[in-house]
Structure 1
Amino acid sequence: MAQYPTPAGGASLLLSFKLKKHVVVIVGSNTLAASRAFAALEADSTVVVVANAGLDSACEELRWRADKGQLSIVDLNRLPCSVERAVDRDAQALDDYLGSLGQVRLVCVTDTLLSGDAGIRRTRTSAQLIAHACRLRNIPLNVTDMPDLCDFSFLSTHRFQDHEAGTPSSLQVGVTTNGQGCRLASRLRRDIVAALPKEVGGAVANVAQLRIDAELNEEAGPSTPNLPVAQRCADETAGERARRRMKWVAQVSEYWPIPKLAKMTSEDMAGVLDGQNSLLTNSTVSTVARGRIFLVGSGPGHPSLLTVATRDALTKHADLVLSDKLVPAAVLAIIPSHVEVRIARKFPGNADYGQAELMEAAIDAARRGLTVVRLKQGDPSVYGRAGEEILYFRERGFEPIVVPGVSSVLAGPTFAGIPVTQRGAAESFIVCTGVGRGGKQVQLPGYVRSRTLVILMGVARLQEMLDTLLAESGEPATRRDGVAFPACTPMAIVERASMPDQRVTLSTIRDIAAALESGGEQRPPGMIVVGWSIMSLWGKGDVSVLEPGAPERDEARIQAWLGEQRWRIVDGLDNGWANL
């Protein structure tokens, strides 16, 4: 039986409510009530403020909103009460009023605020009676400063603006500490907002338009960015077209820098979705001096891992940067604003078109005398198509300058705490790709106990990889050159290596699929590492796997490493990288 994480109580179920045509009742008329009212109004709800003395006691903002017809204010003292000599007239009158409204979605009590005037602050007994009435009517309740009476709490939220349009964006972020530090939640929310580009609201609006233009629908299936999709063909069906275009939108959302998403024009959107060479100019060969083409590696992702040569190419020499989609925004951010940047449109089913488009654009620009930097993640010669680009450019009269980069083959495992070689655990390593040209299957290496296997671009085809590694016979075994891997062999998936949101999933071949599924959405790009070096530096380390008789202790070794959970997921980078 698969082992899944044990729920740890104390968290909240974070939801975003649609409140259109529903009533939100706010008890109290202070500035906090005004804040709650504004949030409810932005969620398209009907807001009713109920307060002792009604409009006369309302704060300035509530009176202004009532005057504009945005909400209504009801005097609690004037509401009829069905029970004479009620224990608490306010609670009983409010209960009667809630029954008369219908479609009440939420109730917020704000006049229990500790910082309010002690003379008019609602008592705990009164708040408890209101809570009892709401629960009898199945209406969720929030009571300020009395968390034990609350069915829900408010997050510290921020709604972004679409700066280009000058209107509020549909993007919101919220932070909660589940009542353990409201001030800290506000600070964390501010830090998150400050860290995001100001254009993020416009980016959301443009992606929403892309989804509409791509004709996304439920029949197109899920939008996981890296799941395989059939190669594009001239006679594709409407369903195939919808699935392909959905993939493109998903990958644009995943890979493109936020500022670029925000600045997309309608023509740019059409170009992304049609997969044609609409971004290219029809320049003719001129008599200007010939330009240069650099093939440059950007490393695994973290900007501090750029080589000096790569940084100089991007910041001092480039007139045009043609970037692969996997190069992160943090690297593209160092490119001066006057340098044009184009992102590859090599989305599922369109890889060959996107590749040809960039190579043609490089030749076109170089013939016009420009210096072109063809920017690739990792090292351009390690599954980066550098070879075919070199031959393509050479055939057209340009000898590209190749600038090596730090390869993710080595950097990715290192950031995950995995040495690809380690005395006593791995004497060699081998690297391969998980997908061949045109999406074809590839031949994987067989099991060698003293060797680490690194598979790039294979996470999307994980189950296929596992079948090939484990098969003793049949068709999957023919896709492997060598003996089958033991099911207990350690396996790791490293996603977004070297980036702040890096995630490492550690398990064995038999459990890695369930482990990855338990972690939620994929974080492309990802790589797979297989072999005993994975656990060699964990805790006190284990460098005894190559000793005589070691295989007999493998299951016990895995048990000591992973315990009963059978997998481990590690999020984020070591804090030491934060300031580099």
Structure 2
Amino acid sequence: MPEFCDFSFASVHRFVDPESGQSTPLQIATTTNGQGCRLAGRIRREIVAKLPKEVGAAVEKMGKLRTMTRASDEVVDSGLDSELNEDNGVTTPNFPVPIRGSIETSSETALRRMKWVAQVSEYWPLPRLATMTTEDMQNLLRSEGMEAGSEVRHFSGGILSPFSKGVHSIHSLPHPASPNGKILLVGSGPGHPSLLTIATHNALTRHAHLVLSDKLVPAAVLALIPADVEVRIARKFPGNADGAQIEMMEAAVEAAQRGLTVVRLKQGDPVVYGRAGEEVLYFRAHGFEPIVIPGVSSALAAPTFAGIPVTQRGVAESFIVCTGVGRQGKDVKLPGYDRARTLVILMGVARLAQVLKALRDEAGHEEGPSPMRDGPTFPDNTPIAIIERGSMPDQRIITSTLKNIIAALESVGEQRPPGMIVIGWSVLALWGKGDVGVLDEGPVRDYERIGEWLGDASWRVKDGLDVGWDVL
């Protein structure tokens, strides 16, 4: 009898490969736990309709890539095969991996390779994953041209990860080449296509012959590029950021020398931790003065999407933007606590424990104040927000205090890169009825205002964008 049942059947859909018509491993099931069986079917249909038709094939190809990775000698010899099981626990594709050294053990090679496969799964557009060939997968897993200290001197389609839309080489691009090629260094904003500047939109849709994109640029932005324009995604696998940077710059110069207009596409603003400066100097040294097109920086846009003003009268008189990791993965010295200041940390979520240690580490070392921080210790009750995939439909905001933020992050499961950290009293300034008396009242009410903000909970999690952004 229904009243004695403790289960219900789900409404199931199995995806097929649109090319072969064969079933794929991907299934989606919805259930209302007996509260509306017909509604469960409708919800299932709407979910399926919103996903790319190639999503099942993408799952199938990723499965093949993982199988190839498991079978590699390095993974077998290192005993790290179980690490490839994504269902084993909470993971992040951006977890720090040491910079590639001149000599690597089989375990180090295996770990780096597995992290690269995880990043492909996280960042590559689904249609691109669905069209991977066996040769593409072999190119992904081989280490040719990526050894430490090697300098890539010749551009080859195999060096960069192609997101091809029918064109496989810059040598066969259909656009009429100009005698004078151009390089545009372009910021794509935080992620939402509506936040592209007109100049960036024109560069992508009207002027580009070749787009060299960083991996963080979302598929929704890449989808705006005309189908006859070649798009390549930087192969910035863990430990190879410098190598991938050289590859992209050399690819841009070679294409420009052929008379093509190259768009070097970066997320956010290219000069805010986007390595734009070194690219400007490199292109200039090779005879091309790039046009730099600013983008909306995620350092400002993501907090706004999260309802956090980086400056606010009575709360935050200034803000600092810094990185959570230095060159070649080294630690950086972070700013000290200033009650009237908001601290924005980019590229720090995967290193949250180290960041918190730097901020909370007490002074008292023999050599003086903490070497990890330039200034006073941050109080444990300082508000903090982690903003993941800011401005995108699957945006997630985790708010808590420095004391509880690690537990809060662990509670939500799989991380959603890219993420950023915002620290300071501005995090709670606009919550509910607002709290703009932080500076006037001083710290005497801090624990009380934390209680008013979080209630009986230790943290708060919010998924998705505010109502209205879906139509903008």
Q: TM-score, normalised by structure 1?
A: 0.72
> Using the alignment, how far apart are the partners of 1:275 and 1:354 within structure 2?
13
> Using the alignment, how far apart are the partners of 1:519 and 1:265 within structure 2?
34
Which of residues 159, 163, 168 in structure 2 aligns to 1:279? 159
Conserved? CA contact 2:7–2:33, under 8 Å = no
Which of residues 221, 229, 232 in structure 2 aligns to 1:342? 232
Q: CA deviation at 1:525?
A: 0.3
1:7-50: per-residue Cα shift (whole Å, max 9, x none)? xxxxxxxxxxxxxxxxxxxxxxxxxxxxxxxxxxxxxxxxxxxx
> Does 2:216 match 1:326?
yes
Bigger relative contact order, structure 1 or 2 (CA pairs below 8 A, ≥6 apart):
2
> Using the alignment, how far apart are the partners of 1:292 and 1:360 within structure 2?
14
> Does 2:301 match 1:417?
no
Conserved? CA contact 1:454–1:529, under 8 Å = yes
Matched residue SS, 1:547: helix
Matched residue SS, 2:26: strand
Q: 1:333 corresponds to which letter in structure 2?
A: A
> Using the alignment, how far apart are the partners of 1:487 and 1:455 within structure 2?
17
Pairs within 5 Å for 1:199-278: 199-215=54-70, 217-218=81-82, 224-276=92-144, 278=158
Matched residue SS, 1:493: strand
Pairs within 5 Å for 1:545-564: 545-548=438-441, 550-564=442-456
C-alpha distance 300-544 of structure 1, shift in aligned 2 (>3 A): same
Conserved? CA contact 1:221–1:243, under 8 Å = no
Q: CA deviation at 1:230?
A: 1.3
Q: Which residue of 2 aligns with 1:439?
A: 329
Q: 2:460 corresponds to which letter in structure 1?
A: R
C-alpha distance 353-441 of structure 1, shift in aligned 2 (>3 A): same
> Does 2:411 match 1:510?
no
1:71-99: per-residue Cα shift (whole Å, max 9, x none)? xxxxxxxxxxxxxxxxxxxxxxxxxxxxx
C-alpha distance 495-474 of structure 1, shift in aligned 2 (>3 A): farther
> Using the alignment, how far apart are the partners of 1:247 and 1:218 within structure 2?
13
1:543-580: per-residue Cα shift (whole Å, max 9, x none)? 001015x2011111111111221111111111110111
Which of residues 50, 62, 73 in structure 2 aligns to 1:195? 50
1:320-345: per-residue Cα shift (whole Å, max 9, x none)? 11111111111111111111111111
Unaligned runs of 5+ in 2: 76-80, 146-157, 161-168, 172-176
> Using the alignment, how far apart are the partners of 1:436 and 1:148 within structure 2?
60
Which of residues 448, 461, 468 in structure 2 aligns to 1:569? 461
> Using the alignment, how far apart are the partners of 2:318 and 2:127 within structure 1?
42
Q: CA deviation at 1:150?
A: 2.9
Moved more, 297-306 or 156-165: 156-165
Q: Which residue of 2 aligns with 1:4?
A: none
Conserved? CA contact 2:93–2:118, under 8 Å = yes
Moved more, 183-192 or 404-413: 183-192
Identity of aligned residues (%): 67
1:115-165: per-residue Cα shift (whole Å, max 9, x none)? xxxxxxxxxxxxxxxxxxxxxxxxxxxxxxx53243432211111112234
Matched residue SS, 1:483: coil
> Does 2:406 match 1:526?
no
Conserved? CA contact 2:66–2:84, under 8 Å = no
Matched residue SS, 1:477: coil
Conserved? CA contact 1:321–1:373, under 8 Å = yes
> Using the alignment, how far apart are the partners of 1:474 and 1:346 within structure 2?
40
C-alpha distance 537-221 of structure 1, shift in aligned 2 (>3 A): same
> Using the alignment, how far apart are the partners of 1:474 and 1:164 within structure 2?
66
Which of residues 415, 421, 430 in structure 1 aligns to 2:320? 430
Q: 2:317 corresponds to which letter in structure 1?
A: E
Q: CA deviation at 1:273?
A: 2.2
Matched residue SS, 2:127: helix
> Using the alignment, how far apart are the partners of 1:369 and 1:190 within structure 2?
48
Conserved? CA contact 1:469–1:477, under 8 Å = no
Pairs within 5 Å for 1:14-93: none
Matched residue SS, 2:186: strand
> Using the alignment, how far apart are the partners of 1:204 and 1:389 within structure 2?
35
C-alpha distance 578-219 of structure 1, shift in aligned 2 (>3 A): closer
Conserved? CA contact 1:275–1:345, under 8 Å = no
> Using the alignment, how far apart are the partners of 1:474 and 1:338 within structure 2?
62
Q: Which residue of 2 aligns with 1:293?
A: 183
Q: Which residue of 2 aligns with 1:30?
A: none
Q: Which residue of 1 aligns with 2:163?
A: none
Conserved? CA contact 2:324–2:348, under 8 Å = yes
Matched residue SS, 2:439: coil
1:162-182: per-residue Cα shift (whole Å, max 9, x none)? 223431100111111111122
Q: 2:159 corresponds to which letter in structure 1?
A: L
Matched residue SS, 1:429: strand
> Using the alignment, how far apart are the partners of 1:292 and 1:461 within structure 2?
38
C-alpha distance 147-320 of structure 1, shift in aligned 2 (>3 A): farther
Conserved? CA contact 1:207–1:253, under 8 Å = yes
Q: 1:198 corresponds to which letter in structure 2?
A: K
> Using the alignment, how far apart are the partners of 1:428 and 1:473 within structure 2?
24
Q: CA deviation at 1:288?
A: 6.8
Conserved? CA contact 1:275–1:354, under 8 Å = no
Pair member with larger Rg:
1
Q: CA deviation at 1:246?
A: 0.8
> Does 2:253 match 1:363?
yes
> Using the alignment, how far apart are the partners of 1:425 and 1:282 within structure 2?
52
Unaligned runs of 5+ in 1: 1-145
Q: CA deviation at 1:306?
A: 0.6
Pairs within 5 Å for 1:139-158: 146-158=1-13
> Using the alignment, how far apart are the partners of 1:360 and 1:210 within structure 2?
28
> Using the alignment, how far apart are the partners of 1:309 and 1:274 within structure 2?
38
Matched residue SS, 1:564: coil
Q: Which residue of 2 aligns with 1:482?
A: 375
> Using the alignment, how far apart are the partners of 1:387 and 1:275 within structure 2?
28
1:165-200: per-residue Cα shift (whole Å, max 9, x none)? 431100111111111122221111111111111111
Q: CA deviation at 1:220?
A: 6.7
Which of residues 392, 401, 406 in structure 1 aligns to 2:282? 392
Q: CA deviation at 1:270?
A: 2.1
Which of residues 308, 330, 338 in structure 2 aligns to 1:448? 338
Conserved? CA contact 1:323–1:343, under 8 Å = yes
> Using the alignment, how far apart are the partners of 1:532 and 1:539 within structure 2?
14
CA RMSD, 1 decimal: 1.8
